Amino acid sequence: MNRVYGVIGIKSIMANWNADFSGYPKTIGDGTIFGSDKALKYSIKKYWDDMGEKILYIKSFKTDKDKMRPRSLEERYNKVFNTTLTKKDNSEDVIKNLFSTLDVKSFGATFAEEGNNISITGAVQIGQGFNVYQSSNSEEQQILSPFRSDKKSEEGKEANQSTLGTKIVSDEAHYLYPFYINPISYKDYVETGLTEGYTEDDYKKFKEGALVGATALNTNSKAGCENEFALFIETDEETYLPNLTQFMNFIKKNDKCILELCSLSKILAEIKDRIKNAEIYYNDYKLDIKNMPEGTKKFNIFTRKEV
User: Is there a domain that residue 208 lies in?
Assistant: yes
Q: Which residue from 34, 37, 12 is spatially nearest to 25, judged by alpha carbons?
A: 34
| Tally of domains within the chain | 1
Q: Which residue from 86, 107, 100, 124 is spatially nearest to 3, judged by alpha carbons?
A: 124
pLDDT the model gives residue 119: 96
| Structural domain of 273 | 3-52+125-151+164-300
Looking at residue 138, its amino acid is S
pLDDT the model gives residue 111: 96
Question: How many Å apart are CA 115 and CA 283, to the nearest integer?
Answer: 48
Q: Specify whether the backbone of 175 is left (phi greater than 0), alpha (psi in -120 to 50) or beta.
A: beta
Please count the residues of the chain: 307
User: Is there a domain that residue 157 lies in?
Assistant: no
DSSP state of 297: E
Residue 65 neighbours by CB under 8 Å, 6+ apart: none
Alpha helices in 159-294 (DSSP H): 187-191, 200-216, 262-270
pLDDT the model gives residue 155: 60
User: Is there a domain that residue 138 lies in?
Assistant: yes
> How far is Cα of residue 185 from the mean position of the Cα atoms in its chain?
20
pLDDT the model gives residue 30: 94
User: Is there a domain that residue 108 lies in?
Assistant: no
pLDDT the model gives residue 163: 63
User: Is there a domain that residue 17 lies in?
Assistant: yes
pLDDT the model gives residue 151: 64
User: Is there a domain that residue 109 lies in?
Assistant: no
Question: How many Å apart are CA 232 and CA 248, to the nearest integer?
Answer: 14
User: Is there a domain that residue 287 lies in?
Assistant: yes
pLDDT the model gives residue 222: 85
pLDDT the model gives residue 185: 95
User: Is there a domain that residue 271 lies in?
Assistant: yes
pLDDT the model gives residue 152: 61
pLDDT tens per residue, the chain (307 residues)?
Answer: 899 999 999 999 999 999 999 999 999 999 999 999 999 999 999 999 999 999 999 999 998 888 899 999 999 999 999 999 998 899 999 999 999 999 999 999 999 998 899 999 999 999 999 999 999 999 998 888 777 666 665 565 655 556 678 889 999 999 999 999 999 999 999 999 999 999 999 999 999 999 999 999 977 768 899 999 999 999 999 999 999 999 999 999 888 899 999 999 999 999 999 999 999 999 999 999 999 999 999 999 999 999 9
